[in-house]
Structure 1
């Protein structure tokens, strides 16, 4: 009954439906017009994401209900895990930046092949290594950061390049967040996951790209009549 917007990414996407999350804000904004569908996978890099692509987005002929209709948009938000340092304790998540860029190309190409008219939005990741040391997700005997913002910046640049080469819009969150003097504490809770303010930034930036792509409430219709459109004298008449 309703069109969809898919959110495809790692833990920053998986957590986007938390209280104050950017995915929840999108779902609230588009309520009664669009189903915002969460496809977030904590810890995943782009190699793993592309490996499971057909399971995440089943083709129509396979019986996948969401694969049968073209979504309005898909956000692709990976890179925080790809950018893990190759000699750190999260090295198993690390990918060379060239492979990361190629994987983004492959993901975008696969989405375009399946849904030629769907708006695809790439998003770059920010990192604060100091907070990552304070809040490690695993035992870290070396005491060294497993990610750095400098490394994330290299991957952000590759994401921007991939978006340009693929002809799709990109939210450069890495640059956008660092325009705030105290961005680390304002936008990131543990150097990686978003605070409420960080979620707000992502929501606002994604909304800009959706609007630029022609996806806005003014161009969408509700799936069923609003209460104000129901005939008070004969309510059921409205539904015929």
Structure 2
């Protein structure tokens, strides 16, 4: 079986296998070496993610040998955009208080590490918010006429995510800060004030690949699944499959 990299997150992860998505780009990048497994759940916050973690990452049954399923090479944990929804606006049901968000991230990391101690865990902060874009693309009814998310709130949750990574000794991609380095990031990176454009997806892809590389997971270090065409003897092709 090929090793796996699991993407665990909300709609920004669920959409990542779409055309030009960062997950699809990862799958293409690691073709023939790693299976990129999508576990994205639109609208989910860390409270819900923690609640369903056992179902997302099931333990092995006795029939499968016990001891937990084969450990993924890496798990990217990408939550916070929904947690940061404001508690007094239209998406309040998704809101998770900042301190609970931090604790939930700790618990998700602990869950993964307890099950698979060797798995490389990468945290990704929520992206910045273009409030004008959210007003033009609200989720459901928005009678207040105010954005249900703000960039300031997203920044507080991004900072908390970076803090959790430091406390856990894990790598983190500070997407909130990284995207805002790009001039005109509001429309360049975000198609509706929250979800990613092709440019935004490219930034996430490049950051994830670099974080994995720094963790020792790259094309040079990973074995290729089955012989490459250039390595097959054209005179005795089946000889290449005997090892």
TM value normalised by structure 1: 0.97
What's the secondary structure of 2:191's corresponding residue? coil
Deviation per CA, 1:156-207, whole angstroms, max 9, x where unpaired? Answer: 1110110100111000000001111201111000011000000000001111
Q: Which blocks of at least 5 consecutive residues in structure 1 are unaligned?
A: none
Cα distance in 1 for residues equivalent to 2:210 and 2:73: 15
Cα distance in 2 for residues equivalent to 1:229 and 1:123: 38
Match of 2:175 in 1: 173
Q: How far 1:137 sits from its partner (Å)? A: 2.0
Is the Cα contact below 8 Å between 2:26 and 2:36 reproduced in 1?
yes
Indicate which of 139, 143, 146 corresponds to 1:144.
146
- RMSD over aligned Cα, in angstroms? 1.3
**Are residue 37 (structure 1) and residue 37 (structure 2) matched?**
yes
Is the Cα contact below 8 Å between 1:11 and 1:42 reproduced in 2?
yes
Q: How far 1:139 sits from its partner (Å)? A: 1.4
What's the secondary structure of 2:121's corresponding residue? strand
What's the secondary structure of 1:47's corresponding residue? helix
Indicate which of 183, 187, 192 corresponds to 2:185.
183
Deviation per CA, 1:34-78, whole angstroms, max 9, x where unpaired? Answer: 00000000000000000000000011237789x621111100000
**Are residue 219 (structure 1) and residue 237 (structure 2) matched?**
no
* 1:59-208 correspondence to structure 2 within 5 Å: 59-61=59-61, 68-125=69-126, 126-208=128-210
Q: How far 1:231 sits from its partner (Å)? A: 1.5
Cα distance in 2 for residues equivalent to 1:152 and 1:64: 42
Is the Cα contact below 8 Å between 1:121 and 1:170 reproduced in 2?
yes
Cα distance in 2 for residues equivalent to 1:68 and 1:158: 31
Cα distance in 2 for residues equivalent to 1:104 and 1:42: 18
What's the secondary structure of 1:60's corresponding residue? coil
Is the Cα contact below 8 Å between 1:129 and 1:145 reproduced in 2?
yes
Cα distance in 1 for residues equivalent to 2:71 and 2:63: 14
Which structure 1 residue ranges, 4+ long, deviate > 4 Å from structure 2? 62-65
Cα distance in 1 for residues equivalent to 2:229 and 2:72: 27
Is the Cα contact below 8 Å between 2:91 and 2:139 reproduced in 1?
no
Q: How far 1:127 sits from its partner (Å)? A: 1.4
Is the Cα contact below 8 Å between 2:232 and 2:240 reproduced in 1?
yes
Cα distance in 1 for residues equivalent to 2:105 and 2:95: 15
TM value normalised by structure 2: 0.96
Q: What is the aligned residue count? A: 239
Is the Cα contact below 8 Å between 1:58 and 1:64 reproduced in 2?
no
Match of 2:52 in 1: 52
Q: How far 1:128 sits from its partner (Å)? A: 1.4
What's the secondary structure of 2:61's corresponding residue? helix
Q: How far 1:229 sits from its partner (Å)? A: 1.2
Q: How far 1:101 sits from its partner (Å)? A: 0.3
